[in-house]
Amino acid sequence: MAIRNVPIPSRQLYIDGEWREPVKKKRIPIINPATEEIMGDIPAATGEDVDIAVEAAQRALARGDWGSTTGAQRAKYLRAIAAKVLEKKSELATLESLDSGKTLLESAADMDDVAACFEYNADLAEALDSKRKTPVNLHLDSFKTYVLREPLGVAGLITPWNYPLLMATWKVAPALAAGCAAILKPSELASITCLELGEICREIGLPPGALNILTGLGPEAGAPLASHPHVDTISFTGSVPTGIKIMTAAAQFVKPVTLELGGKSPIIVFDDIDNLDIAVEWTLFGCFANTGQVCSATSRLILQESIASEFLNRLLVWTKNIKISDPLEEDCKLGPVVSSGQYEKVLKFISNAKNEGATILYGGERPQHLKKGYYVQPTIITDVNTSMEIWKEEVFGPVLCVKTFKTEEEAIELANDSKYGLASAVMSKNVERRERFTKAFQTGIIWINCSQPTFHQLPWGGKKRSGFGRDLGEWGLEKYLNIKQVTEYTSDEPWAFYKAPSKNQ
């Protein structure tokens, strides 16, 4: 069981295998979103610290204890990290909930996923040894060739606050598995567990500089990392405006980037579903899990008209039954949003929807029994039209907007009516219909008769303004590899492209 007043570790920046005070000695307060109280502070890196971390990463790549390792050797480090995460699961889960407002149930599940993701990438690292040098057959016998897979170099990893340690792991684990040296810059709104990952790496003896962790503000730490000339690739998860800035900075050096940005994902419910309550629960989970702070949240419910009234009635019954409380309380299913800024933003979206003519069917306010903390009731908004802000823009909070449809054509048009393209869900027992929608959805992730299940074996990412590139699965590892073509001329015969000089010449 979690201890409410677990001490918040006081850490420095994790650089070159040790704790190092920021050059400018700045720190940022940690605010508990459930109580609005300051719990401690984190170090605030600046460009000077980024330079030091990049140099440490470059040294790690040049040294044999990291730069010359096999995938099997790296896998041992990844498995040791996984074991330590499980050993410290209770402490890490509590810290995650205190820091981000995530329910303890979700934080504990995240720690299991963190360990599993390190284990999975350990398997990939081992498999990489047999794929590192892959022969390729050619149509000419006079050439022998192979493809070489090598680590890309120094990887800059910039991660969000909604799944602090888990989304960091989505990038750290494959970057290390590939043999890169990584610099992690987590969100300043939730960095505690990412710093604890540094302590875990120190405890298990990860070679110095293989992973460096810089906490701090985006403009002061994230921007110098993205624009650093000796950072070879950037993987970013976060907002569209920040993604555009990172892509612009990386373009100055023609640096590869992968971006996993926002979403405004649809869930379509047809009238042929067998069990209304099952569809209702997936709808709730798809939008209200993690307090709605999920990039792929299916926050646009598109309901077939013939079942809309009955479905919404059941949805209300289920929503009213959600326990909203301090995230460390038993059976809490909805905690606070992460910060005062996010709290105000979510309430502003709800207010704007009401002003535009939408109906707040349920919620939209602070829960009456919670006087402190950044809590927002789970909110259901109806009478929405496609020109409204609430239909178009990502809220990143527990807010579900609803529209109805009559035909399949209308449903798919509504589903794809978004600048985003991360995820889509469809609830129907009709196999042919599900196949039609799978093909028609303009997204990178599709869920059938569910919403939000996420597995580290499968690719994660989107299209349109949701970004490009993939985390997770084999695809998450590939982006940290440089592919070399090696071709050897094996014949003793001259190439004979040019006329040979005469012997007298």
Name the residues annotated as catalytic: 260
DSSP 8-state class, residue 221: I
* Nearest of 257, 265, 314, 309 to residue 289 by alpha carbon: 265
Q: Is the Cβ–Cβ distance between 479 and 180 less than 8 Å?
A: no
Instruction: State the Cα–Cα distance between residues 82 and 197, nearest whole angstrom.
Output: 10
What angle is formed at CA 52 by the lines to CA 46 and CA 53, rounded to 5 degrees? Answer: 90
Mutual orientation of helices 71-87 and 192-204 as an angle, nearest 10°?
120
Instruction: State the Cα–Cα distance between residues 103 and 328, nearest whole angstrom.
Output: 6
DSSP 8-state class, residue 398: S
Q: How far is CA 111 from the centre of its chain?
A: 15
* Nearest of 225, 291, 221 to residue 28 by alpha carbon: 221
Q: Tell me whether residue 66 is exposed, middle or buried, using C-beta atoms within 10 angstroms of its C-beta: 0 to 12, 13 to 18, 19 or more.
A: buried
Q: Is the Cβ–Cβ distance between 185 and 167 less than 8 Å?
A: no
Q: Helices marked H in 132-234 — which ranges? A: 164-178, 192-204, 223-226
Instruction: State the Cα–Cα distance between residues 290 and 284, nearest whole angstrom.
Output: 11
Instruction: State the Cα–Cα distance between residues 231 and 320, nearest whole angstrom.
Output: 49
Q: Is the Cβ–Cβ distance between 426 and 270 less than 8 Å?
A: yes
Instruction: State the Cα–Cα distance between residues 214 and 307, nearest whole angstrom.
Output: 51
Task: At 39, list the tokens.
Answer: 């719990």
Q: Tell me whether residue 316 is exposed, middle or buried, using C-beta atoms within 10 angstroms of its C-beta: 0 to 12, 13 to 18, 19 or more.
A: middle
Mutual orientation of helices 89-100 and 164-178 as an angle, nearest 10°?
120
Task: At 179, list the tokens.
Answer: 């043999």
Task: At 342, list the tokens.
Answer: 């996010």
Rounded alpha-carbon distances, angstroms, from residue 362 to 291, 322, 356, 433: 15, 13, 17, 31
